[in-house]
Structure 1
Amino acid sequence: MQPTRRAFLASVLSGTGIAGCLGRVPEPTCPPPVESDGPVRIGFAGDVMLGRNVDETWRDGDPVGVWGSTIDRLRALDGLVLNLECCVSDRGQRTPGRGFYFRAEPEWAVPALDAAGTSVAGLANNHLLDFGPQALRDTVTHLEAAGIATAGAGSDRTAAFTPATVTVGGIEIAVVALTDQAPLYAARGDSPGTAFTTLSTGDPLSKRRVDAALARARERDPDLLVATLHWGPNWEVRPSEGQQRVARWLIDRGVDVVHGHSAHVIQGVETYRGRPIIYDAGDYVDDYLIKEGLHNDRSFLFELVVADGTLRALRLVPVEIDDSAVGAASETAAQWLRERMRTLSGPFGTTVERAGDGLRIPLGEC
């Protein structure tokens, strides 16, 4: 009989499982299968910025329009995890000294997120407090009232580091959201903010905070543990060595999916012990200027396929932003994305297969 995930992760913490002690690389050991009745698809999208021009475009129109031709694909998923890189509020004052301010009107933004089937909105990022603590509180209140779980921000540090737990397709998922961006926005002991930490394996305080958040997630005995990370500098197409160490360390600590974002461009995907590391998912919705050569208007919808109790594959569906909405990528953009992902994932030894207009990365081999 397969052990429960709780028993497996207890062995991790005791030093007898895959993580062992933090100072060494443990022997590869597969976690128990995820229990599910049939194929389940869980989507992961990068930065979703619904403020500024996006807000002006859709606040008086059909909220579903922001998802363009990807809406049917989103609705077909069993769940969706994304980074919401704006606040959702009509209140608050601008935080002084910020170059950009992102805020979306709740009346259209909440229905839009709900229409896409958003299960969890990660709020640990460098724009959630652009309009101060009141807008942060409004964001959490509006989303949770719509049945959209949030993680990565809250009324104090404990709340900010508290994981979200949702059930999609019969699978219970715990999501821990963290950021190493905008220390000014960090939640303190008794003040609102984000789950800020340095995200460095060389920082003992950061490791303790992350470990505590993961422990709280494991208390709920989830089938799948996700770490969604807003990390690293903008416009970098490759993760730093430090980010690679953190991602692998997280999987050693029981994380099943590392979901990175913040660079505004896609980075490579690594499979480590049968688990996917999406170093950066790029931008899914925004109004940003397009950087020459970087094509920050092109990215993927990443779909995790769980079948027969196993993480089977990561499907990469090409998408493209056009005029404050996202849509299926053109043939030219899709070809560019496929070639780019193969190039960026190559150094990790990742198997990348063609799948229609997109790509497929097999998983499950520990």
Structure 2
Amino acid sequence: MSGDRVTVFLCGDVMLGRGVDQVLPHPGDPALAEAYVSDARTYVRLAEAAYGPVPRPAPFDWPWGVALGVLDAAAPDVRILNLETSVTRGGERAVGKGIHYRMHPANLPALAAVRPDVCVLANNHVLDFGRQGLVDTLEALDSLASAGVRRAGAGRDAAEAWAPAVVPLPGGRRLLVFACGTASSGVPGDWAAGVHRSGVARVDESLDPAGPAAALRAAKRPGDLAVVSVHWGGNWGYGVTGAEQRFAHALVDAGASVVHGHSSHHPRPLEAYRGALVLYGCGDLVNDYEGISGHEEYRDDLRLLYLVSLAADGAFHEVRMVALRARRLRLEHAPDEDAAWLQRTVARVSGRFGVQVVRERDGTLIGRPHRAGARPGRGRGRGGSAARGEGGRDGA
């Protein structure tokens, strides 16, 4: 913390399964049930064909690459990520899904390498291997509790799934992290946690904010800060629906300082609303999508680390975004021209939402509310199609 300010690291989807899992020291069963790919090692070969050889076995910190040094230098107070894979050796593949992600539990040090404070689990892959796979995932993450790892968004029942992860802050304050997944991101209806049923904190097609907003109001106490992490929307496109904006605004009105959106494979708009920050989509961070064609105009090989600075009262001060790119199943610094492309793109899609985005000399992108104050925008259009080329990226 700097004075009373709190810096929170946020990112999009982290998928340590499938091809990434295969290059780590303890690869799981590579067999897949996908339409085009039957062996997870194929994704390693695609990445190698595109950018060069990947060591096997790679060290546990390999997927993070330069991101670890960037985070150590930035020293955020809280680190939050969306873990978009189950952690299990067993379970049965979910019926009706074309893509299933899992990582071997013995590869958990690869997750621990980034030292997360909170792993969000409310997404459309955490039950890819059924409720047994979910229980295995919960137990795997609980084994990291002594290292300060917490989880949110899934549980053995609805109460556990909707409960916030609580991160202590100096002075007896707390940062609460709530998480939910929506139907629009492909979370099946029968994955919803119930009174006596394990599952995820799911919001249905209506995007009714009443439930999440009530949970936030009930848990938050004076001095607390709150982040609500939401897995929503399509995989491609910059449009924000009216329902998404109303949902985000209701969460801010209920006390959230940040709405942490993810599911899209590329960054989507930022919005400043009533002193809070809405990230409509953080894009992917770690995955095995290299060498898969389709949607090149969105540059999904480029990734952003988000470092959000919050004032003592929870007001969004600025967000620093570090531009990276994926090569050889590893993150590296993005070249200047790629960082410039990201700045132009994020600035263009965020301007009408009250956020200006500039680039500093070192290539860091800075997002701040417009000086005249936040100007809530009206999103137009919907996220793009989830269609792919031949190869399995996360699909809704």
Q: What is the CA distance between 1:144 and its match in structure 2?
A: 2.3
Q: CA deviation at 1:307?
A: 5.5
**Distance in 2 separating the partners of 1:82 and 1:348:** 24
Match of 1:197 among 184, 192, 203: 203
Q: Deviations over 1:46-82 (max 9, x none)?
A: 0001111011122343111110011112233222111
Structure 2 Cα separation of the partners of residues 287 and 222 of structure 1: 40
- CA distance change for structure 1 residues 209 and 40 in 2, over 3 Å: closer, same or farther? closer
8 A Cα contact 2:209 2:250, kept in partner: no
1:63 is aligned with what amino acid? F
Match of 2:303 among 299, 312, 325: 299
Give the Å deviation of 1:235.
0.9
Structure 1 residues 139 and 221: alpha-carbon distance in aligned structure 2, compared to 1, 3 A threshold:
farther
Q: How does 1:303-342 map to 2 (within 5 A)?
A: 303-306=307-310, 311-342=316-347
Aligned residues: 326
Contact persistence 2:209–2:251 (CA under 8 A): no
Partner residue of 1:126? 124
Q: Which of 36, 42, 47 is matched with 2:13 structurally?
A: 47
The 8 Å contact of residues 86 and 127 in structure 1, kept in 2 or not, is answered as yes
Task: Indicate the SS of the match to 1:134.
Answer: helix
Structure 1, 317-326 or 220-229: larger mean CA deviation: 220-229
The residue number in structure 1 matching 2:68 is 71
Partner Cα separation in structure 1 for residue 351 and residue 357 of structure 2: 9
Aligned AA (1:44): L
Say which is worse superposed, 150-159 or 346-355, in terms of deviation. Answer: 346-355
1:98 partner letter: K
Which runs of 5 or more structure 2 residues have no equivalent in the other structure? Answer: 26-56, 375-396
Counting only pairs closer than 5 Å after superposition, residues 153-164 of structure 1 correspond to structure 2 as 153-164=154-165
What's the TM-score once normalised by structure 2's chain length? 0.77
Contact kept? 1:237, 1:263, Cα under 8 Å:
no
- Aligned runs of 1:1-366 on 2, under 5 Å? 37=3, 39-59=5-25, 60-75=57-72, 76-108=75-107, 110-147=108-145, 148-168=149-169, 172-180=174-182, 181-182=186-187, 183-198=189-204, 200=206, 206-218=208-220, 221=222, 223-288=224-289, 289=292, 291-306=295-310, 311-355=316-360, 356-362=362-368
Deviates more, 1:243-252 or 1:181-190: 181-190
Q: Is the 8 A contact 2:135 2:156 kept in 1?
A: yes
Determine helix, strand or coil for the equivalent of 2:281.
coil
> TM-score, normalised on structure 1?
0.83
- Residues of 2 paired with 1:73 and 1:81: CA distance? 15
Report the Cα distance in structure 2 between the residues aligned to 1:91 and 1:117, rounded to whole angstroms: 26
1:199 Cα deviation (Å)?
6.7
CA–CA distance in structure 2, aligned partners of residues 68 and 244 of structure 1: 34
CA drift of 1:342 comes to: 0.7
Offset from partner CA, 1:106-132 (integer Å, 9 cap, x none): 222x22222212011110000000011
Q: Supply the distance in 2 between the matched residues of 1:306 and 1:270 (Cα, whole angstroms).
A: 15
Query: 1:255–1:265: structure 2 CA closer, same or farther, 3 Å change rule?
Result: same
1:222 is displaced (CA, Å) by: 5.6
Q: Which moved more, 1:150-159 or 1:310-319?
A: 310-319
CA distance in 2, matches of 1:278, 1:337: 15
- For residue 266 of structure 1, report the CA deviation from its aligned partner: 0.9
Q: Percent identity?
A: 36
Most deviating of 55-64 and 334-343: 55-64
1:194 Cα deviation from its structure 2 partner: 0.7
In structure 2, what is the Cα distance between the partners aligned to 1:256 and 1:275? 5
Distance 1:349 1:41 in 2: 21
The answer to whether the Cα contact below 8 Å between 1:163 and 1:216 also exists between their aligned partners in 2 is no
Please give the secondary structure, in 1, of the residue aligned with 2:329.
coil
